């Protein structure tokens, strides 16, 4: 069998596997080198899918815990979580989806080469373990993703001081869990294990939770977390963490300069992820890097002709690149279409939705109020609380709001920020609205079905004009 392909993709995460499928759809012969035993990368194996599966379990437990409110009588005793069943169900979901990608590869005649890839000269990739061989490629796409990273003075031992890779596999609910970092990963695990019964403390260096979100969203999440019994320590720096025979000891410097000592069963380090390029041969190939990330232009070309890169491993050199599955997939589609000679446009990264599936959920797109003001807009704000809606009352999910940031001069939507029930679904309307450069007026004139959660989006648009109907 020939080892020459039109396109060789390194890494079968949401960037690589989507790029491979799109290139194959466009008539290219494609091979994908993936070193894991399954396809799908971080998202399917350790990220989006397993965490959201655990969050669905947490939500089911929440409903059952409120059974009496719903008029459901349970046998005596309080409902408890069975981690063996939780993990079995989660693993089954992951396996079904990773096998689904194998099916799609077969359907699109994509060759999966099991092993670790290394660049070996122009148009050449060596598979250095597993199915060892040398591949020739007209085009190479690097999609090697990211892995968890820690902060100074905190040594991950994968037993007591863990990352998300271990947190998704816990066989028992820890009695106490300290989470370092309050980005999406940190607050999602806070919601999971608090609901499962852990005593959870979230420590964040910045003075608010989910620091990339609008400040009003951060404040609402902190209010809700505290109500749920999660300890929130913002503006707090972990200066030391050490594993003991029975748990972990954490020293944290609080905003007043004092040191707080916290003991817990586990410390989850959720302080971000760094690029995976070790052993890939990018330096020898002369590929330009920035802070370890592969530097690409707006259509994902690296500094070496014939080598592109997408997903968590890249930087566009214009500030932080969002490490999100849907971003890597869209980049995969664009790079495949460019290689196939189709006309393509760069992504507008201001229009990337961010979804955080903590309780309450967060969905956002576009500029926060602070960012819009920084960019010099004369800003109009419209906010509408979910709690007023009939649908929210029926569901018993009344926390949160929709906040729209608009430009006063042209009425154009600049950002939409949701926290509350179904926010990760509702944000889709806002993404389309921003892409189509909608005004608040156009959103007002868009009919939102009743009774739905989406009415809050329409009402927030009314609120931009100071005329919400139901408040
Ligand atoms: C806990 C957690 C939850 C998340 N939840 C979400 C979410 O809800 N929504 C969302 O959008 N994003 C989420 N993410 C982020 C998302 O998973 C990543 O942005 C996405 O997986 C990036 O895709 P990628 O293709 O760039 O890289 P990856 O998915 O990391 O895939 C890279 C692949 O390359 C392989 N590889 C690396 N080097 C080599 C080599 N030399 N040879 C062969 N193979 C190699 C790796 O084995 C891996 O399979 C989450 C991440 C985590 C950790």
Candidate from 135, 145, 190 with most ligand 1 atoms within 8 A of CB, to mutate:
145
In percent, how much of the chain has pLDDT > 90? 97
Q: What is the pLDDT of residues 69-124, one digit of tens each?
A: 999 999 888 888 999 999 999 999 999 999 999 999 999 999 999 999 999 999 99
- 1, pLDDT greater than 70: no
In percent, how much of the chain has pLDDT > 70? 100
The rounded Å distance from CA 91 to ligand 1 centre is 17
Candidate from 41, 90, 115, 285 with most ligand 1 atoms within 8 A of CB, to mutate:
41
Ligand 1 near 439 CB (within 6 A): no
pLDDT at 38: 98
The rounded Å distance from CA 291 to ligand 1 centre is 19
Q: Compute how many other C-beta atoms are within 10 angstroms of the C-beta atom of residue 92.
A: 11
Task: Tell me the sheet residues that pair with 301.
Answer: 308
Candidate from 8, 9, 13 with most ligand 1 atoms within 8 A of CB, to mutate:
13
Q: Whose CA is nearest to atom 50 of ligand 1?
A: 47
Which numbered atom of ligand 1 lies nearest the CA of 14?
25
Q: What is the pLDDT of residues 121-156, one digit of tens each?
A: 999 999 999 999 999 999 999 999 999 998 888 999
Q: What is the pLDDT of residues 346-371, one digit of tens each?
A: 999 999 999 999 999 999 999 999 99
pLDDT at 76: 85
The rounded Å distance from CA 388 to ligand 1 centre is 39
pLDDT at 153: 87
Ligand 1 near 392 CB (within 6 A): no
Q: What is the pLDDT of residues 258-294, one digit of tens each?
A: 999 999 999 999 999 999 999 999 999 999 999 999 9
Is the overall model pTM greater than 0.75, yes or no? yes
Mean pLDDT of the 307-316 span: 98
pLDDT interval class at 318 (50, 70, 90): confident
Mean pLDDT of the 10-33 span: 98
Q: Whose CA is nearest to atom 51 of ligand 1?
A: 47
Q: What is the pLDDT of residues 192-213, one digit of tens each?
A: 999 999 999 999 999 999 999 9
pLDDT at 209: 98
Q: What is the pLDDT of residues 36-79, one digit of tens each?
A: 999 999 999 999 999 999 999 999 999 999 999 999 999 888 88
The rounded Å distance from CA 18 to ligand 1 centre is 12
Ligand 1 near 421 CB (within 6 A): no
Mean pLDDT of the chain: 97
pLDDT at 150: 85
Ligand 1 near 385 CB (within 6 A): no
- 383, pLDDT greater than 60: yes
Q: Whose CA is nearest to atom 49 of ligand 1?
A: 41
Q: Tell me the catalytic residues.
A: 450
pLDDT at 271: 96
The rounded Å distance from CA 35 to ligand 1 centre is 13
pLDDT at 152: 87
The rounded Å distance from CA 41 to ligand 1 centre is 5
- Nearest by Cα to 114 from 6, 11, 22: 11
**Residue 430 tokens, joined:** 């806002």
Q: What is the pLDDT of residues 284-306, one digit of tens each?
A: 999 999 999 999 999 999 999 99
pLDDT interval class at 249 (50, 70, 90): very high
- 2, pLDDT greater than 80: no
Q: Angle, nearest 10°, between helix axes 16-25 and 83-107?
A: 30
- 220, pLDDT greater than 80: yes
């Amino acid at each position: 069998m020939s080892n020459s392909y039109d396109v060789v993709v390194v890494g079968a995460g949401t960037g690589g596997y989507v790029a491979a499928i799109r290139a194959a759809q466009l008539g290219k012969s494609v091979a994908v080198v993936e070193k894991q035993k399954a396809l799908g990368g971080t998202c399917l194996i350790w990220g989006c899918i397993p965490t959201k599966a655990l969050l669905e379990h947490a939500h089911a437990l929440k409903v059952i815990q409120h059974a009496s409110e719903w008029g459901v009588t349970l046998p005596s005793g309080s409902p408890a979580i069975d981690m063996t069943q939780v993990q079995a169900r989660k693993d089954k979901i992951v396996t079904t989806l990773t096998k689904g990608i194998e099916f799609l590869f077969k359907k699109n005649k994509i060759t999966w080469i099991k092993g670790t890839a290394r660049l070996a000269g122009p148009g050449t990739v060596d598979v250095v373990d597993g199915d060892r061989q040398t591949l020739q490629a007209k085009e190479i796409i690097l999609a090697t993703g990211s892995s968890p990273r820690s902060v100074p003075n905190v040594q991950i031992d994968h037993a007591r001081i863990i990352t998300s890779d271990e947190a998704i596999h816990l066989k028992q609910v820890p009695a106490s869990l300290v989470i370092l970092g309050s980005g999406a990963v940190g607050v999602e695990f806070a919601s999971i294990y608090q609901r499962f019964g852990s005593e959870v403390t979230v420590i964040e260096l910045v003075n608010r939770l989910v620091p990339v979100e609008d400040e009003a969203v951060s404040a609402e999440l902190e209010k809700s977390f505290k109500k749920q019994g999660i300890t929130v320590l913002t503006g707090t720096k972990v200066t030391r963490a050490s594993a003991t025979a029975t748990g972990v000891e954490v020293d944290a410097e609080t905003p007043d300069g004092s040191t707080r000592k916290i003991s817990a069963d586990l410390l989850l380090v959720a302080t971000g992820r760094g690029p995976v390029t070790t052993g890939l041969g990018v330096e020898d190939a002369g590929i330009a890097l920035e802070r370890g990330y592969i530097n690409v232009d707006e259509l994902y070309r690296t500094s070496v002709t014939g080598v592109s890169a997408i997903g968590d491993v890249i930087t566009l050199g214009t500030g932080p690149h969002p490490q999100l599955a849907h971003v890597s997939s869209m980049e995969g589609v664009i790079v495949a279409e460019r290689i196939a000679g189709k006309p393509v446009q760069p992504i507008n990264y201001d229009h990337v939705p961010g979804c955080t599936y903590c309780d309450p959920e967060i969905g956002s797109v576009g500029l926060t109020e602070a960012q819009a003001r920084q960019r010099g807009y004369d800003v109009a704000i419209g906010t509408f609380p979910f709690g007023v809606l009939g649908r929210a009352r029926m569901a018993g999910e009344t926390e949160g709001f929709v906040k729209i940031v608009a430009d006063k001069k042209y009425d154009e939507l600049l950002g939409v920020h949701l926290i509350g029930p179904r926010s990760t679904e509702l944000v889709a309307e806002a993404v389309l609205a921003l892409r189509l450069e909608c005004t608040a007026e156009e959103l007002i004139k868009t009919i939102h079905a009743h009774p739905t959660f989406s009415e809050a989006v329409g009402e927030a648009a009314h609120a931009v004009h100071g005329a919400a109907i139901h408040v």
